Structure 1
């Protein structure tokens, strides 16, 4: 699995991985990304906190954040909570400031689901890059809410890079929303690709140095009822 992913990332700058394939490759024993372990992990998105840094005044984004590190070939360990920072060049809307978000809860950070996702993504990125190396990893839990008449903006900054080495974006849940198409633009190639993360654990893995990405707004499918789009983002530096 990691070799195939690595080849796609090296050749195309990104790889789309359907949820079933991700489960098979990242959790071959079927114990971390299915059943109660996965349900508990996904349910933690119901306990996120408002993002207070939205320069557009939006109140549609909830999140939690954590920082991890790993020495070359070593285990992933959580670091003390700290700020998230992006330059204005990478995030012209909300960059240029140290942003502090509610921390990921300990049970979530220590969950077998997260361990499987961290391990699988790390293996793919190391195979696509220069092999085992030290990593600084940031984890972001996002919920984008869509209310009647008020779309949710997964990437209000537009097409962007995160300013890291590699990124994994995995869908956790979609409820009563339309839209949310991921756009991909690769440096040196014409055109833009589009796909939708529709099912749990549908994911895209990105070489951030080569790829721009963004997501279209989400709107409620049924009138009078809010919706949401939950994703996990893991960035590797």
Structure 2
């Protein structure tokens, strides 16, 4: 994919294709107008002490996560909401759906980096849906761990939709892992494309109503060392029109 330096090109690609893959350099260009980059080292370090996801219906102990909810308004403001459970219909998540899942909250100290990414997504998705006055935004910190005897599953529910309007997946770090390839599909399962988030800052944006996505399992490169994949996932769901 060629570089996408201008927001208009990014918007046009999302409208045309239903998804966009941004390399780190392009993503940094997109983020720059939306605030200071913040302390990426501290931001990435906030993934290091997350608790295990205790809701995995497959019994897996390979996923750690935190969660937060925000409201984003037409005037550009973004407000953090009271902590609440994450809920998905079983129609969208056949593994863990129809369960109110209480995850540890994302700490406020995560700070400027998260706010900049939120503002970028708000501006991007609002340009595609200018009638939306209020977005319900969910933020997920994920760490997927891999072991020699157990691959990590970034999408244990398989190829899926999230049941929202738009999704951002931003790579924070990958250490000592192989694979983790993202695949994009039509609703009937046909493959539209595939790519691998490899550098911190690589990202993909998805029109969740139009495309399905999945990520292949991750495995250690060196069985003697820790192996993991850290991502930030933001989902935007419209709540009411102007």
- In which range does the TM-score fall when normalised by the shorter chain? over 0.9
Specify the alignment match of 1:72 in structure 2.
Answer: 74
Task: Identify if the C-alpha distance between structure 1 residues 39 and 31 changes in structure 2 by more than 3 Å, giving closer, same or farther.
Answer: same
Specify the alignment match of 1:16 in structure 2.
Answer: 21
Specify the alignment match of 1:103 in structure 2.
Answer: 105
Matched, 1:42 2:47: no
CA–CA distance in structure 2, aligned partners of residues 82 and 88 of structure 1 = 19
Identify which of 89, 92, 98 aligns with 1:90. Answer: 92
Report how many residues are paired.
232
Identify which of 59, 62, 72 aligns with 1:60. Answer: 62
1:171–1:231: 8 Å Cα contact kept in structure 2? yes
Task: Identify if the C-alpha distance between structure 1 residues 2 and 186 changes in structure 2 by more than 3 Å, giving closer, same or farther.
Answer: farther
Specify the alignment match of 2:196 in structure 1.
Answer: 196
1:11-41, CA deviations, whole angstroms, 9 ceiling, x for partnerless residues?
Answer: 00011111111111212598415xxx11111
CA-atom RMSD, angstroms? Answer: 1.6
Specify the alignment match of 2:113 in structure 1.
Answer: 113
Specify the alignment match of 1:235 in structure 2.
Answer: 235
Specify the alignment match of 1:217 in structure 2.
Answer: 217
1:148–1:226: 8 Å Cα contact kept in structure 2? no
CA–CA distance in structure 1, aligned partners of residues 10 and 187 of structure 2 = 19
1:90-131, CA deviations, whole angstroms, 9 ceiling, x for partnerless residues?
Answer: 0000001110100001111xx111111011111111122235
CA–CA distance in structure 2, aligned partners of residues 166 and 11 of structure 1 = 14
Q: Which runs of 4+ in 1 moved over 4 A?
A: none
1:26–1:117: 8 Å Cα contact kept in structure 2? yes
CA–CA distance in structure 2, aligned partners of residues 118 and 182 of structure 1 = 22
2:36–2:116: 8 Å Cα contact kept in structure 1? no
- Where structure 1 has 5 or more consecutive residues not aligned to the other structure, the ranges are none
CA–CA distance in structure 1, aligned partners of residues 180 and 146 of structure 2 = 11
